[in-house]
Structures are given as structure tokens and as C-alpha cells.
Structure 1
Amino acid sequence: MRSWWGWGNLRDAVAGAERAALVERVAALLPGAELLDHEPPAIGDLDLRPPRIAAPPSLAALCSDDPSDRLGHARGKAFRDVVRNLLGDVGEVPDLVLRPRTERDVVDVLDWCTGAGIAVIPYGGGSSVVGGVEPRFAGPAISLDLGRLADVLDIDTTARAARIQAGVYGPALEDRLRPHGLTLRHFPQSFEFSTLGGWLATRAGGHYATVLTHIDDLVESLRVVTPVGVSESLRLPGSGAGPSHDRLFLGSEGTLGVITEAWMRLQERPRWRAGASVLFDDYDDAVAATRALAQSGLNPANCRLLDPMEALLNAGTDAPGGVLVLGFESADHPVDASLERALESCRDHGGDPQPRSKRDASDTWRTAFLRMPYQRDALAAHGMIVETFETACTWSAFPALREAVLSTAQQAMRAVGAEGVVTCRFTHVYPDGPAPYFGVYASGRWGSTVSQWDEIKTAVSDVISAHRATITHHHAVGRDHRPWYDRQRPAPFAAALRAVKSTLDPGAILNPGVLLAPDAAPPTGTNGGL
């Protein structure tokens, strides 16, 4: 059973000895932390407003007004979402959850909501960490859950592509492709609890560090339902015919239309793998080694640099200069030679490759990576501030950016009375720059951890913007990042985006407040079906 208030499945939550050991480690790191446990409230005890709208009879079979369903669709899975739920602060929730069974149902829902002035929030797996699925406005809203549109409609093994409905979850998709020896090869941390449509709408980044890192790279064509009609691009390996239809909708976060299906490029499943971890005494040397690999053409599948604190906390490794986690894979040929060349390059930069016969930092870190969201929830319930933020910049800009982010985060934590540490790791690397991913682990005051985090997040986002790094690399804009996205994008493009929005969504019903600040109040429900 999915947790309504936190990450993942209830059965997989951190509990018992694992929870006790986690709290013990935090207590040793932060002796002043309170670490008192707080249980989530019962749904029946929450002050949940009754639905303000009712669907027309033709759509009634798609609707749910169940309190647990509405609460489960009200927020994503960011730290601030989890803590507000733990506090019983449910705020605005969708009035109804609608689950279309066909694309025709999506068309009918958008027609109804446009005419009635009801906001529509497209919903994939609900794993947003940027306020992308939260109805942060006063008017009536529905959550449009695409989970029933979850089929693989066609597989073209010759071209290695598949036509896939947007509501399919990651594991189910891979299960359908596996008998054909194929894979989408897109594995974000949210893989188990996110959908193809969500990846496309947010321009998601996957697990792999180089080459095909973003979902954008895998798209052959998209089919999108908008309030003014269905838009479908030609299925082509490439085209130079004007601005890209697909690029318009990739990253549109449900504001321009509802992605219902896509032709996606597939890969053969890897047969050969090799990996290792490399320890460094000096962090600057570790960064230089990582840059050399990113520019070498070796294209490692994994090239994840953990700074010393990240290595200690999440890989259990004490390395003064950090740990570089390396991995290679191929469906065509052995990759041992590529790994050996990469390790040789690391040695040239002072790296110390670890014996691959022993369980090393790469194995430990991979296990910790999959448990991180569950551990975050457990620590949040114990009054800790545990959250991440990410960006991307050029290699030449990284040293100054990292120094500014770390010092600003520490200053912000002191300002809100939170003692803690800040970590940094590279999730993706490109020839021209890395994608640094920062983590904050701090003791908070129960009842104030959301406001404490908001101040820290604002401070670090300001410094990221000031250093001309991106406000998000692979976690989308949503409502949380929009003030900094407003600064990042050029003014002419903002005007063009607003014009596209007004053309495709003239009723301004699609995910109000995401990507663009609404010109006027969100929909108010002119004839909401009551």
C-alpha cells in the first residue's frame, strides 16, 4: 500500500533496528538534535474540505472523492510535503481524482473543466519534489491520474522503438520490454513510483551519468491532448523542420497539454558490465579526474563523484578527497578495457582505485541511494531537516559555485538555528560541466522545520541564480522553483511561452502557477457541476 503522507510503500518504510541505527548515527553526528519521533495523523482526524464540484454523469465512473485518494494526490514527495502531512497541515487538496481509461476520456475531462472553469492537475506517479502536483490556489481542482493509460501499444524491434502510454510506471514498462531484449534505459531514483508521462513532462534525468542522460534524448514522437485539440508529431529519427513540437511539450509540466503516449527510443539490454570506486586525497584532484573522464569519450554509464561528507554519510567511506563511483556497460562488447583506461586516467590525477573483488563504496552507495527517500521520511519524523537541491554549471564555474553554495547553506542554517552538514555529489557529467547535487542534513525544531528549510532553500537558490547556474537540472520547475526560473529564462521566451499557453489552454485550467505566474486569479469554478 502506498503511503499517503510520505515516500513509497508502507511496508518498505524505515523501522525497527534500521530506524534505531539511523537515529543513532545522526545523534553521533549532531549531538544537539532532539530526534523525538512523530507519527503521521490518521486520515479520519484531518480537517478535509468536502468536494466543491461534481462531475457530469458521463464522467462519474472516472471519479473518486475518497479522502485517502484526494490526500494521496494533493502533494508530491518533497521534504516540505512530507512534514506538512506529518503535522496534519493538509491545506488545499483536489476536489476529485479522475482516472481516464482512454484518450477520449482525457478529451472529455478537459472539455468539461474548460467550460466549468476547473483547474486540472495532470498526475503521473506523484513523485514531484517541486510542488508540481499541489493545488496551491483557492479555486476548485481535479487531479487527472493517468495510471489507467499504462499499456505498451506497439514495439518496433527493427527500429528499436516502442509506442507507450503515458501512465505506465517504470517497473511495468521494463517488464513489457524485457522479453524483447530491450530497455528504455531510464532509471531515475523515483523509477518505481513515477511514470513515462511524468518523466516527459518534467524532462527527467535518469541514473546514467553520460550520453543518454535525460528523457529528452529518448523521444521519437509525442501525442498530447490540449484543450483545443490533439497534437501529435511525426515519428522520425530526426528532423530540421522548424522548432520542435516535442521540445515544446517536453518539460511543459502539464501546463500546455496532457501527454497521453509517446514513441520512445529503446536500447538492447546490457550484457557486459564493469565497475569500481576510486578514492582521492584531494577533492580538486577528484574533480579534475571526473572532468577528464567526461571529456575522454569513454562515456561511463556511472561517473558519480561523492565529496568527502557524502562519501562518509552515504557510502561509509572515509576519503579526504571524496570517492568517484565508476561503471561501464554495453550490449555489444566487453567493457573491462574501458574501465581500465578510466582507472588509469584517475591514477594520473592522484586517484586510488579500490580492489574490485571486495564490496566497495560503489556497492554501498547504490544500496543507500535506493533507501535515501525512506530514510529522509524517517528523519523528517524525528525533527530533522533532510533535503536536496541540484543544479548544473560549466566546469570552470563549479569551484566558485560550490564554495558559495556551501558557505551560504551553512550561514542559512545558522540563521534559522539548525546545526548540520552540507554534502555534494555529481549525478551527471558532461564534457562542458557537471550536475552538482547538494544534500542538507540538519537538526530542526519540530513544528518549524518547513519554514527553516524554506529559508535555507531560498538562500541557496539565490546564490545558484547569482552564479548563473540552472535552478534545476532534473527535478523540474513546479511551483517551488518558479521565482528563479523566472530569472533564468529570457524575457522574449517568457512572452512566447505565455502566448503558447493562452493559445493551447485559453481557459487557463492546466496546472495554474507552474512555469508561469498566472496573469489573473486561477479558475474559480463558474459552473462546477453542482
Structure 2
Amino acid sequence: MRRRSHWAWGWADRFPDRDARRAIGEQVRAITSFDVKDVTEPVALDAITMPAPRIDAPPSLAAITSIDHEDRALHTRGRSYRDVVRGFYGDFASAPDLVMRPRDEREVDAILDWASSARVAVVPFGGGTSVVGGVEMDERRETYAGVVSLDLGAMTRVLEVDATSRAARIQAGATGPQLEAQLAQHGMSMRCYPQSFEHSTLGGWIATRAGGHFATVYTHVDDLVESMRVVTPRGLIETRRLPASGAGPSPDRLMLGSEGIFGVITDAWVRVQVRPTFRASASVKFTSYERAVDATRAIAQSGLFPSNCRLLDQREAMMNGVAMGASVLVLGFESADHPLEAWMERALSIAREHGGESEGATYRSGAGSADDAAGRWRQAFLDAPYLQSSLVSLGMIADTFETACTWDRFATLHAAVVRAVRDASARVCGAKALVSCRFTHVYPDGPAPYYTFVAPATRGRELEQWTEIKRAASDALMAHGATITHHHAVGRLHRPWYEQERPSLFEHVLRATKRELDPAGILNPGVLLA
């Protein structure tokens, strides 16, 4: 079977060999003039040491429990830059004591009952793709008898499909490819494609309020959840299937983004769609980034609601092989009902009114994929996490962060964020970082900018240097009225800035809910709440 990397993003066989990584280093040096180090190799799996398990599973749970060396390594942490660097150097001191894979709700309930009575921390684990420290116990682990990584990978089925209402009930452990393959048998699709799609799970998407396929309208998984089942230490919560309701605060909304601190999501009814048969794609080049932003805003406010409306600044377009010397707006429309010429032509007309240049659109019906700028961008988007692993082996800091703000604040925010990242990297790395920006999602009232930064690191000081840059970027977001995250969740990494963002009284509401649903405080301690 194909194996996941024990330290890096995705599949182990996607990590390039030394020659390929040297070539990547030469490309980075040519673009940035950074002092790129020669390649080094990650610590091999069999060379990793980790503490022995502190606890044993009760006999009733032994059949679903693993203490396998590789299992524990794979469940130690997520895949942020901080995680990848520590994994690269063989630091697995925070490995869970046990990995448990429940096969149904009954076994989830049994795990939580045992853990509550034995004071064992339980960290729900989907695909392990968290980039915010959402699946790793930190120093608080010593206050618990042990730590269990609760992996829902045995619960992957599409349980029911309601073709009339266009909804499906899906178990929370299903990855993107698993649920899409099952829905395709019914001619349906969830159409939720986060960058982590290949490995992340439905339960993880819901627990972290993940951003999906659509750049407008259905941007978050929030918009697709119809109801859910959540096993808490106090019992089961099942919400009612409804298209909408005005009956008080929504229990679904309480669980969306709760990151496993209130309960374990076991399955959900989600809205699905007939698989699209009509597609349109186009790219528009701009010499002025400011006019490109204005064009994007005009399209977002036009009521056209494209499925793709992603603006790449010049550096982003260049690094992803989309264009040289221009910002690029990537547009797309899709439908299972009607041709799309009218929608696309109007969007292109708006872009041209703001100084954009386009060679026109590509229209397709039936199966097929784009080989134009949109197609190149999509492939680069999916490959980006693998590139980060190569850059770590070359002694580079390479990371991303995302946010959202209103249109009136974007220009000031953007300038401040770029300045903060470049100044911090100059201070701690000796060189100003390469910073690029793209809009991942757009709304009538604002964009979701997604930043990438690359800077030279000093081997052995990577995390110290990265921490300073990350802090500078996050402080800039808070100072200019943006959010600490648009779709990457809070976890442990973003919590200090989330505490500034949320209303102070709301913390008491969260704590009261935590006490009621998880009296022993075993579920994912340290996430969202200190």
C-alpha cells in the first residue's frame, strides 16, 4: 500500500530525490538571490525515538488500539511548517501513547467513557493535515495519565443519499476522494475541495470550518452542513435535518469550528449537487495590482457568483508558472443545468472595464480538465505542500497564512502585512522574505487574502526565526481589523490572536459549554481555550 510520510505532507513517494531538490534550490536562488543551503536528509522512521506508552488500553478497547511505532509517529502532529521542521529533525517527543480507531459510534462513546474516568486526553484525528497545532498535545500532556489519538479512519462510508433533497449522510472519517467516489455512484458530488482534499476528512472539515471549492457563495463547509451527530462525554447530540431554521441559536453552528473540544463528530448530512456538465474558465492579466483588486471586487459584487474567482499577484502568478510580469485573475463557472457563456462574458467584460486583458474563455461540456492558466494554477495549488517539504530540506523557511477583511480595509492591511513579514525576516534571517498573495475566496463585502512567504533560515534556528515572522504577520492582522484565520482554524498555534479577536464575554460561553459537555476536560485540551 502507498505510505504516508511520517514527517512531511502527503505521500512518502512524493518527496523528491537529492538531485531534484538541488534543482529546486537553484530555482529559488535564481528568483530570490537567497543563500540556499545544500540538501540534507530527514531522520528516517526507524531512527526516531519516542517515549514508551504511559498507559494501556482496557481489554474492551484492545482490538481497536495500536502502539505501533509508525502509527504513533503518523499521529504525533499535523503538517504546519513548525510540524514539518520538527519531524524532519526526528523530534517525536509528543507522540500519543495510543492510537485508537473506533469502527462505530458505540466504540467512540466507549473510548470517551474510559478516558473521562481514567483522565486520559483524547485528540480527535481526521487526516492529520492541521496546520495550526490542532492534533498535537503540547506541554499539558503531563497533566494527564496519557494521550489517545482518536482516528476516525475506519468510519468512511456514505450511509444514505437523498436524491430528492440533494443531501447525503456521510461518516466523518471519509476523506475527500473516498466520499467523492461513493457519491459519484449516485451522480452526485459534494464539491468541497480544500487544498488538503486528498487526505483530510469530512469530520475535520466540519470541526475546522474548512474552505472548499467555490470562491463565492458556498465558500465554507458551513454552507453545506444540513445536520450532524456528535458524541460527547455527556452523550449524543443529533441535530434535526432542515434546509434552514430560525429556532434559536443553531446547535450545528456551535459544533462547526469547535475543533473537537466539545465532542467527536461521527457523521453528518451534507448538501450535495449533481455533478457539473458545463464548465467555463478564463484568465485575465493586469499590469496594475490595484486595478486587478478593483475588478475582482466588482465581479464579487455583481451577482454572477463564479465558482472560481482567484486573484494572483505578480509573484504568485510567477511562482506558479501562470504568467510573468502580471497579476492574474482566474475565473471559472460551472453548472449541471445550463451553458455558461453569458455569465463568463459578463465577468470578462467587467474585468476589461478595469484594465484587464484576456484571450477569451474556454468552454467545456462533459468530462475533461483544463490545460489553461486555470488548470496550471489548480495543479500548482495541489502541489504546493509538497514543495514546502523540499524547501525545509534546503534550509528555507516557507509557510502560508490566510485571513479575511472588508474591501475598504484591504489596501492598508495588505501593505502592512507585507511590510511586517519582510521587516521581521530581515531582522531575524538577514534578508527580506519573498511574499506573495492570492485571493482564495471573495465575498461582496471583502476578500480572503492568502499569503506565502519564503526566507533563508539558519539551520538549527528555523523555528525561532519562523516564530518571529509568524508573530509579526499575526500582529499585523489584528492591528488592521482582519481575522486570524479564514479557513485554517485556530488550534493551539492561533489561540493567542483568537483570544484578541473573539468578544471577551464569549470566552465564558465557550468555557461553560466545555464544562457541560466535557466535565473531565479530556477532549483536545489547549485548543480554542487555554
- TM-score bin, normalised by smaller chain: over 0.9
The counterpart of 2:165, out of the listed 148, 155, 159, is 159
Q: Is the 8 A contact 1:97 1:145 kept in 2?
A: yes
Partner of 2:320, secondary structure, is helix
Q: What's 1:377 paired with?
A: 389
Unaligned runs of 5+ in 1: 518-530
3-state SS of 2:241 partner: coil
Q: Pick which of 361-370 and 445-454 moved more.
A: 361-370
> Contact 1:279 / 1:354 at 8 angstroms: preserved in 2?
no
Tell me, yes or no, if structure 1 residue 353 matches structure 2 residue 366: no
Identify if the C-alpha distance between structure 1 residues 454 and 503 changes in structure 2 by more than 3 Å, giving closer, same or farther.
Answer: same
Deviations 1:128-169 (A, max 9, x none): 000000111233210000010111111111111111110001
Aligned partners of 1:37 and 1:441: how far apart in 2?
16
Counterpart secondary structure, 2:486: coil
- Match among 312, 333, 339 for residue 328 of structure 1: 333
After TM superposition, the structure 1 = structure 2 runs for residues 101-140 of structure 1, keeping only pairs within 5 Å, are 101-136=103-138, 137-139=140-142, 140=146
Q: Percent identity?
A: 56
Aligned 8 A contact 2:99 2:151 in 1? yes
Q: How does 1:66-81 map to 2 (within 5 A)?
A: 66-81=68-83
Identify the residue that residue 23 of structure 2 maps to in structure 1: 21
Give the counterpart of 1:391 among 380, 403, 410.
403
Deviation of residue 356 (structure 1)? 4.7
| Superposition deviation, residue 40 in structure 1 | 1.4
1:7 and 2:12 correspond: no
Counterpart contact for 2:234–2:517, Cα < 8 Å: yes
Q: Is the 8 A contact 1:315 1:362 kept in 2?
A: no
2:437 equivalent in structure 1: 424
Q: CA deviation at 1:92?
A: 1.1
Q: Which amino acid aligns with 1:152?
A: V
CA shift at 1:91, angstroms? 2.6
Q: Per the alignment, in what secondary structure is the counterpart of residue 198 of structure 2?
A: helix
The answer as to whether partners of 1:408 and 1:459 remain within 8 angstroms in 2 is yes
The answer as to whether partners of 1:14 and 1:375 remain within 8 angstroms in 2 is no
- Structure 2 partner of 1:267: 273
Equivalent pair of 2:400/2:451 in contact (CA under 8 Å)? yes
What SS class does the counterpart of residue 452 from structure 2 fall into? strand
1:318 aligns with 2:324: yes
The letter of the residue matching 2:359 is Q
Determine the structure 1 residue equivalent to 2:376: 364
Q: CA deviation at 1:254?
A: 0.4
**Alpha carbons of structure 1 residues 334 and 115: separation in structure 2 relative to 1, 3 Å:** same
Q: Which residue of 1 aligns with 2:519?
A: 506
Output the TM-score relative to the length of structure 1. Answer: 0.95
Q: RMSD between aligned alpha carbons?
A: 1.3
Distance 2:450 2:427 in 1: 23
Deviation at 1:315, TM superposition (A): 2.8
Per-residue displacement from partner, 1:63-107 (whole Å, max 9, x unpaired)?
A: 101111111101101111011111122231100000001110000
Q: Is the 8 A contact 1:189 1:207 kept in 2?
A: no
Name which of 225, 249, 264 aligns with 1:243. 249
Q: For 1:303 and 1:233, how far apart are their aligned partners in 2? A: 33
Counterpart CA distance in 1 for 2:523 and 2:84 is 25
Q: Which runs of 5+ in 2 are unaligned?
A: 363-369
Q: Which letter does structure 2 place at the counterpart of 1:368?
A: A
Tell me what 1:461 maps to. Answer: 474
Q: What is the distance in 2 between the residues matched to 1:227 and 1:130?
A: 25
Aligned to 2:484: 471
Mean CA deviation greater in 206-215 or 120-129: 206-215
Distance 2:34 2:405 in 1: 35
Q: Look up the match of 1:520.
A: none
Distance 1:360 1:332 in 2: 24
CA distance in 1, matches of 2:173, 2:509: 29
Please state how far the C-alpha of 1:37 moved relative to its aligned partner. 1.1
C-alpha spacing 1:152/1:359, structure 2 compared with 1 (3 Å): closer
Query: 1:48 maps to what in 2?
Result: 50
Deviations 1:181-203 (A, max 9, x none): 11111000100000000000000
Contact kept in structure 2, 1:279 and 1:319, CA below 8 Å: no
Match of 2:111, SS state, is: helix
Aligned to 1:178: 184
Contact 2:25 2:36 in 1 (8 A): no
8 A contact 1:188–1:206 mirrored in 2: yes
**What displacement does 1:349 show?**
0.1
User: Would you say 1:212 and 2:218 are equivalent positions?
Assistant: yes
Which residue of 2 is the match for residue 526 of structure 1?
Answer: none
Distance between the aligned counterparts of 2:475 and 2:122, measured in 1?
A: 30
- The residue type paired with residue 146 of structure 1 is L
Post-superposition CA distance 1:399-419 (Å, at most 9, x none): 000000000111000111253
Structure 2 residue aligned with 1:190: 196
SS of alignment partner, residue 370 of structure 1: helix
Secondary structure of 2:291 counterpart:
helix
Amino acid at match of 2:10: G
Work out whether 1:234 is the aligned partner of 2:240. yes
- How many residue pairs get matched? 516
d(CA) in 2 for partners of 1:356, 1:507: 57
> Which residue in the other structure is 1:284 paired with?
290
Counterpart code for 2:186: H
- 8 Å contact from structure 2 (residues 157, 171) kept in 1: yes
1:33 is matched with 35
Whichever residue aligns with residue 337 of structure 2, its letter is D
Task: Give the Cα separation in 2 of the matches to 1:350 and 1:484.
Answer: 38
Q: Which residue of 2 aligns with 1:494?
A: 507
1:17 deviates by 6.3
Q: Secondary structure at the match of 1:385?
A: strand
Matching residue's letter, 2:477: I
Contact conserved, 2:65 with 2:99, CA < 8 A, in 1? yes
| Contact 2:167–2:272, Cα closer than 8 Å, also in 1 | yes
1:362 CA displacement: 2.3
- Give the CA deviation at 1:121: 0.1
Q: Secondary structure, in 3 states, of the residue corresponding to 1:352?
A: coil
CA distance in 2 between partners of 1:449 and 1:86 (Å): 12
